[in-house]
Amino acid sequence: MHRARFPVIAASFSILLVGGAALASEKCELAAGYLLEYEDEIEFGVSIHRCAEFWRLEFEEFGGRLANGEPLWNVLDLLEVPKVASDEIIVSQTCSIDGEEDQGIVVVAQQTDEDRFAQIRVAWRADRERGHWKSVDPRTVRCWNEAAGI
């Protein structure tokens, strides 16, 4: 399996290293982060960052720990999310594609009080085999609304 890799970073760094070049963090803050299921003994993660003017998705591979125990992550791919409208929400961890659950799916959906998000505008899947975000047809994706009824 061939994967393009960006240098290892620590989640708390304010400078992001991509391809050997330092990029300002655009005042991005970590909004959510989670581990995906193991794949061939490889631990993958997804993190969602709120930046000044946009949202950013990072697809990551666990790269070990620093001496102080802080985790290191290989950033496999970055994705800038298209503008999220005030009546939309970024949904992750509760989606399936073609009936198969996959925590690596992230979507932008119309907010609703229903059990499922009926209107998904765009969707991506963390492609563990190739190490990048893959755009998927939103019509094939279904996501549960964990906030329904609250």
Q: Is 122 within the bounds of a domain? A: yes
26 pLDDT band, cuts 50/70/90, is low
When pLDDT is averaged across residues 74-80 and rounded to a whole number, the result is 92
Name the pTM for this structure: 0.79
Q: Which of 39, 64, 81 is the last residue of a domain?
A: 81
Q: What is the pLDDT of residues 107-121, one digit of tens each?
A: 999 999 999 999 999
Q: Which of 49, 81, 113 is the last residue of a domain?
A: 81
In the predicted structure, residue 3 carries a pLDDT above the cut 70: no
Alpha helices by DSSP H, 3-109: none
Q: Is 149 within the bounds of a domain? A: no
Share of the chain above pLDDT 70, in %: 81
**Domain that includes residue 67, residue range:** 8-81
The confidence score (pLDDT) of residue 73 equals 87
Q: Taking all residues of the chain, what is their mean pLDDT, rounded to a whole number?
A: 82
In this structure, are 23 and 70 located in the same domain? yes
In the predicted structure, residue 140 carries a pLDDT above the cut 80: yes
Share of the chain above pLDDT 90, in %: 55
Residue 143's closest CA among 47, 109, 79?
109
Q: Is 136 within the bounds of a domain? A: yes
Residue 113: exposure state from Cβ atoms within 10 A (0-12, 13-18, ≥19): exposed
When pLDDT is averaged across residues 18-26 and rounded to a whole number, the result is 44
In this structure, are 72 and 122 located in the same domain? no
Contacts of 15 (CB under 8 A, 6+ apart): 22, 23, 24, 25
In this structure, are 97 and 47 located in the same domain? no
Q: Which of 81, 115, 135 is the last residue of a domain?
A: 81
Q: What is the pLDDT of residues 32-51, one digit of tens each?
A: 988 887 767 789 999 999 98
In this structure, are 35 and 58 located in the same domain? yes
In the predicted structure, residue 128 carries a pLDDT above the cut 50: yes
What's the number of domains the chain is made of? Answer: 2
Q: Is 24 within the bounds of a domain? A: yes
The confidence score (pLDDT) of residue 28 equals 87
